[in-house]
Amino acid sequence: MIPGGGVDRLRPLGYDAPVLTNVPELRVTARNASVHSANKIHDDEVARRFGFRGGLVPGVTVYAYMTRPLVVALGAAWIERGHAAVRFVKPIYEGETVTLRTSPAADGALEVRVLNPAGEPSALLTAGLAAADERVVVADYPRRDLPGDRPPATREVLESLDVLGSPELCWDEAAAAATRERFDDADLLYRGPAAWLHPAVLLDLGNRALDQNVRLGPWIHTASEVRHLGPARLGDRLIARGRVARLYEKKGNELVELDLLVTAGEARPVARLRHTAIYRLREA
């Protein structure tokens, strides 16, 4: 029983798992665990050069917070075969208490909004359970070694990358423990010998598919669309394969969109991912 929650449920078209629609608001104190990362947009001094109040809490971390009400509402079925689309629209800073508000959306989906202390939306997410299995041809996403010497992240370089190098992650007990600590998420789904892969790790692999292929300055993850294709468990070796799908400019910033497939080992699909980032920021 969810404290304060109801029993109102709806069913997505073509899927027989129930969805809890009356999910209580959650409040989370945001934490920037990437202060010392290579991406200096999470550093206070550097972020201020680009017009921010301080280092940004990573989008992957914000997404991890947003998965909490989804797991409450949809359970492990969402991690196994759900979908989500998230946009990060305003920065969140270290120590801010944010509110996660969940409401029903169209076609049996749910909407999660992250509100900053001023009540403004900082991130918007729509998610639900897939109506049918999605067939993916793994051969369409060839694997390639990561470059030994990363070229600079320019439009010309990104246009030339027909296949990206493939970052890998061994999902073992150490990785699971580090993820729980990083995202402050102690849900039982992510603990023990049968621990599920935390869904935010998929977006983190999207970031690695960018920053391990090209040499970046300060950069910002802006949006992701993910379709879960099957569970990953302890002992799986995750591989992110993909390509550059789109390059464009918006408000003086240069953006890249990646088309990625995450597999467990060489052949078992775990998720498809559309991952968007500003790879070259306009200075304030």
Beta strands in 230-267 (DSSP E): 236-250, 253-264
Amino acid at 141: Y
For the chain, domain boundaries: 9-280
CA-wise closest residue to 264 among 136, 163, 147: 136
pLDDT band at 20 (very low <50, low <70, confident <90, very high): low
Instruction: Give me the chain's average pLDDT, please.
Output: 91
Domain 9-280, classified CATH 3.20.80.10, yes or no: no
Predicted model pTM = 0.91
DSSP letter, residue 33 = T
- Tokens representing residue 77 in the block: 């079925």
Give the mean model confidence (pLDDT) for residues 266-278.
97
Residue pLDDT, tens place only, 84-127:
999 999 999 999 999 999 999 887 899 999 999 999 999 999 99
Compute the distance between CA of residue 27 and CA of residue 57 in angstroms, rounded to an integer: 16
Give the mean model confidence (pLDDT) for residues 264-280.
97
